Structure formats: C-alpha cells, structure tokens
Amino acid sequence: MRVLLTIPHYFNPQGSGKHGSLQRNPQPRIEALVRCLRSLYETFATVGRYYAHDRSHSRLEPQPANTRTQVDLDVVLCTTGNFHLLEKLPLPSNLFRQESFSLENPKYLGLGCHLTLKRQLGSYDYYGYLEDDLILQDAYFFQKLNWFNQQMGDQSVLQPNRFEVAQQGQPAKVYVDPDLESISPTFADCPHNFSDNQVLSAQFMGESLRFNRAKDPHSGCFFLNARQMEFWSQQPCFMNYSRQFISGLESCATLGLMETFRVYKPAFENANFLEIQHCGDTLLRSWDKNPGFAYFPRKQSPDTEQPGPTAKSA
C-alpha cells in the first residue's frame, strides 16, 4: 500500500499566542511535530523486529515483524516563507519533503496540501492530510478505512475520533470534538447534512459496530482512497473557499469533505475503532472550563482574505 500524507506546518514567534504555532517558545511545537512524524514511521513505515535464537542457541538474531501492516509512506510538510521549524527538528531530513507556498493568510496553508495531493493523483492508494500536532498509532488504520468503504461505499468517509489524554493527575482519555448542532445555530445551513443516513452498522471481528453521521466532521485530518481523492479533485468545491467552516484552519481540514461526501465517525460505544490523538491537553483543559471554547473562544468575524496558494517548490 502506498500512502501520501501532507502536513501543514507554520510557526511564528511574533504571533498572537492564540495557537501553539503563534507562541514565543518553539519547543512545544517542535516536540509536537516530532511526535507526529515519529508516530507515522514507527507505526506504518518501519518493519518491527523480534529476536530469535539461532540454530546453535548461542546468540539472538533479529527477525522482521509487522510486515503485513507496513506501508510505503511519503510525507510532505507544507510551509510558507521562513515561518517553520524544520531546521530545528532532531530527525533525519529524509523522513519528509518540504514544499513552500506563497500565502497572504497562513490559515489557508492547508490548501497547499490539497494542491500537493492533487498533483500526485494516480501514484498512491491513500491520500491524507493531518495537522502537525496529531499522533497516529493504529497500525491497522488504513486497513480499517478500506474495510469501511468496502462495506459502505466510496460516497462515505470515515473520520477518526480525536482525543487527548490528561497530562497530570488522574489518567483520563477524552474525546474533544463537540456536537456542533448543540453549540451554535449557525451550523443550521452547514454544507454537511447532519440528519441524512444518520447511522450505519456492520459486523467486524464478530462485533456489531455503529458509525454515526458526524455531529462534528472536523478531526484536524482526513484520509481518502484513490477513487475518493480523484472524485473530490474534480468537484467545483475543490480548493474553492468562498464559503467557510469556522475558520481557515478548519475549512482546509474539513469543508471539502462536508461538501463532497457523507462524513461519519465511530459511535462512542466503539469510539476507538478509529481515532487519532491530539498532542497535549490544551483542548481538554479549555473544554473543561468552557464547553465550545476550542472552536468559539470569542465572537469574531470569519476570515476575509482569499487563499490562492502559489507553490514555490514542488
């Protein structure tokens, strides 16, 4: 299986501090990106090892393991200008390729990812996008996506449930994306139909699993098979952000899915069937203090800048 993953990466120490990419201290952002990249290669692209005795039982010899879940992985980090931390990463540079784009509004850096994905149509089995602080550690992630589409068809997209774990005190794992319908009436005219084909179910390893029409389609990522990516790239809404979903950040990750596919997430009784970790516990702490804070910290007007990325290097 060949997989192309694109990651928008931005850091500006002179920023507002509202997001991790706009803080003065770069170290938390470096650590998050390192965890993101390491998790991908540790989970998918590195053949595991176990050790067995040789025939004389005089020494241990390494043997390959996990070859059934290994993928041919390519990772592209999309940046703009000098607003990045790639030179400070304590990782081999051959783990990723950098593509730089000219942008007026860095919130739309994800559009550079979309352009990169489209340029590679026909070369991969799966095409993905994930924010630079997400951690993916499910070796059967792409097999599960493939199984879901075999059962439900390519018109449906399965998004992972995004979670955080408490960094201190009592161990806790919390799914952090809210039910948008219950938070804001502004989503009444959202391009995603929250009520159509609400529940899907299927048998998996002897268990009955449920998948709900996502009350919040956003997961900070998406993963499409080759047929889905081809179909999406041909739609009028592809890279057309005249409308907006929350802000530029969420629009790049989620709006195209909402306008093109039926988006589902695993129901909470089987939430960990497909999930992805958000590094740290920022959303968890914010959500505990003020439900909805992660998406609606204060009343603000939508971004007005038009995106339109231009590639500097391919």
Let me know if residue 55 belongs to a domain.
Answer: no
For the segment 177-206, the average pLDDT, to the nearest whole number, is 75
For the segment 56-85, the average pLDDT, to the nearest whole number, is 88
Let me know if residue 287 belongs to a domain.
Answer: yes
Let me know if residue 163 belongs to a domain.
Answer: yes
The residue ranking higher by pLDDT, 108 or 241, is 108
Degrees to nearest 5, angle at CA 222 with 257 and 95: 145
98-130 residue pLDDT tens? 999 988 888 889 999 999 999 999 999 999 999
DSSP 224-257: EEHHHHHHHHTSTTTT--SS-SSSHHHIIIIIHH
Q: At 45, which CATH number? A: 3.90.550
Confidence band for 78, pLDDT divided at 50, 70 and 90: very high
Which one, of 226, 218, 217, 222, lies nearest residue 264 by Cα?
217
Threshold 0.85, pTM exceeds = yes
Query: Are 106 and 80 spatial neighbours (Cβ–Cβ below 8 Å)?
Result: yes
What was the pLDDT predicted at 314?
38
What was the pLDDT predicted at 291?
53
What was the pLDDT predicted at 304?
45
CA 216: distance to chain centroid? 14
What was the pLDDT predicted at 264?
96
24-50 residue pLDDT tens? 788 999 999 999 999 999 999 877 777
Find the domain containing 243 and state its range. Answer: 2-49+60-301
Q: Could you tell me the end-to-end alpha-carbon distance of the chain, in angstroms, rounded to an integer?
A: 23
Let me know if residue 142 belongs to a domain.
Answer: yes
Q: Compute the mean pLDDT over every residue in the chain, rounded to the nearest whole number.
A: 85
Could you give the number of structural domains in the chain?
1
Let me know if residue 267 belongs to a domain.
Answer: yes
For residue 136, the one-letter residue type is L
Degrees to nearest 5, angle at CA 266 with 108 and 289: 65
Helix (H, G, I), strand (E, B) or coil at 39: helix
Let me know if residue 283 belongs to a domain.
Answer: yes
Burial state string for 73-93 with b = 16 or more CB within 10 A and e = fewer than 16: bbbbbbbbeebbbeeebeeee
Let me know if residue 171 belongs to a domain.
Answer: yes
47-57 residue pLDDT tens? 777 777 767 76
Confidence band for 220, pLDDT divided at 50, 70 and 90: very high
- How many whole angstroms separate alpha carbon 106 and alpha carbon 224? 24
